[in-house]
Amino acid sequence: MAELSTLDIRSTGEDEYLDLDHMNSPAGPPRYLQHLSLTGHLEKLPQWISQLHSLARITLNGSKLDADSSSLEILQDLPNLVELELVDFYTGHLLKFRAKKFKKLKALRIEKFDELDLMIIEDGAMPELKRLTLSKCKVVLIWHL
């Protein structure tokens, strides 16, 4: 699977957890992976995602990660991420995009964050962003200068 460019993993049911931390290969993660789609409940993002430096697009649907999750931190450091789609991804009240992170991100879609009250975008975060879509969310936007 060294040449794999797209990976789509889906749970069989809404109550089933995806346990992906055991998907490590002796050769490491597929280094040419450009698109990753995970559909299903996660306890946390798999650690190997941080090693996918060629990823350009990620779709995470139904993850329902809690407020203590460091998942957004992992995603913010991916060097070539251009598109990020998060649907029913997070159950916390605060979402924070840190300064000088998501350096190449051009499109961000956030949908169905039922508990989200506040989204902070620090100055210098997502400098290349062209399209931001928020839907089915209760959210307040604040830019930190």
pLDDT tens-digit map of 55-103: 999 999 988 887 665 778 889 999 999 999 999 988 888 888 999 999 9
- Answering whether pTM is above 0.85, one says yes
Question: Which of 134-143's residues contact partners 24+ apart within 8 Å by CB, and which partners?
Answer: 134/110, 135/109, 135/110, 135/111, 136/111, 136/112, 137/110, 137/111, 137/112, 137/113, 138/114, 139/110, 139/113, 142/118
- Report the pLDDT value the prediction gives residue 84, as an integer from 0 to 100: 97
pLDDT-based confidence at residue 3 (cuts at 50, 70, 90) = confident
**CATH architecture group of domain 6-144:** Alpha-Beta Horseshoe (3.80)
Query: Using DSSP, how many helices (H) and how many strands (E) does the chain show?
Result: 1, 9
pLDDT-based confidence at residue 11 (cuts at 50, 70, 90) = confident
| Domain parsing of the chain, residue ranges | 6-144
